[in-house]
Amino acid sequence: MKQSTTAGRIDGTSPVRADGGGDRNVVGGSDVELLGRVARGDQQAFAALYDRHCRSVYGLVLRLVRDPAHADEVTQEVFVQAWRIAARYDPARGTPGTWLRTLAHRRAVDRVRSEQAARDRDRRASAVNGTVVVVDPVADDVELAAEYAAVRSALAALTDLQREAVTLAYFGGHTYRRVAELLGVPTPTAKSRIRDGLVRLRDTLERSSRTLA
């Protein structure tokens, strides 16, 4: 992931000027302030926002797509999308970091579905043509598709607060303390939301497993 390239050409026109093109103090602004400036086309604010969140977004995406190249592509797509729709961000629905990771989760899931569909099409075509399908180690990931679908369905059954906390902890790889900081709540509250969410997630997945059986 190359911050200068992404931040510099995110609008598809020209790179960030050498002087930053704006307030030199923008890097010290809050995430909400940065996102507000991004919505107004401030490339320096976008670069600062990217620097703060690119690693957590990439980490979340990689856990889902399981391929560094795809994860890098999806991460860039997430920030391009964030640049384009920054004005739609609603602080009442969560922090900018949570908003970015929500965008990342959706795009990563879309990429997993797309890759699975492509492999399925290749297999069907091979079957029709009577050719032998060569097994690729990456194809093993297809077996995880049902699990991904089950987890997504189970996550949808959680409350908004539980889902946000579990997503940050499980998919984002954050500690209890970091989750609490991102959500702006005490650490015990974050622990409670994660614990309750995981219990509910486990129960939902167990019921789903019994139904499939």
pLDDT for residue 87: 94
pLDDT for residue 165: 84
Q: Please provide residue 69's backbone torsions phi and psi, each rounded to the nearest 5 degrees.
A: -65, -45
Token pair 């977004």: residue:
57
Written as six digits, the tokens of 147 are: 């699990």
pLDDT for residue 17: 33
* 49: nearest Cα among 109, 108, 89: 89
Say how far apart CA 213 and CA 204 lie, in whole Å. Answer: 14
List of the chain residues with pLDDT < 50: 2-24, 132-144
pLDDT-above-70 percentage for the chain? 67
Residue at 85: amino acid letter: I
pLDDT for residue 119: 65
Structural domains for the chain: 1-134 (1.10.1740.10), 143-213 (1.10.10.10)
pTM: 0.52
Say how far apart CA 51 and CA 44 lie, in whole Å. Answer: 11
Q: Dump pLDDT digits (tens) for 163-213.
A: 888 877 766 667 778 888 888 889 889 888 888 888 887 777 777 666 655
Written as six digits, the tokens of 111 are: 């990429």
Say how far apart CA 137 and CA 106 lie, in whole Å. Answer: 25
pLDDT for residue 11: 43
